[in-house]
Amino acid sequence: MWTIGFLIFLSIILGIGAWLFFIWSVKSGQYDDVEGPKHRMLDDDDEK
């Protein structure tokens, strides 16, 4: 019983963490340009 309770608690904490991460990603504009990243990853940025 105690293990189930702990696991439920853990899953909810992890879930909330993922949810907050999602909210942050929307707010910081990660979804504004969904076309770009696939091209950008091909850039050679040696100098940076």
- Residue 23 C-beta: closest distance to other proteins, Å: 6
Q: Which of 2, 3, 32, 41 binds other proteins (CB under 8 A)?
A: 32
- Residue 36 C-beta: closest distance to other proteins, Å: 4
Q: 19-28 long-range CB contacts below 8 Å, 24 or more apart?
A: none
Q: 39-42 long-range CB contacts below 8 Å, 24 or more apart?
A: none
Binding site for other proteins (CB under 8 A): 1, 4, 8, 11-12, 15, 18-19, 22-23, 26, 31-36, 39, 43
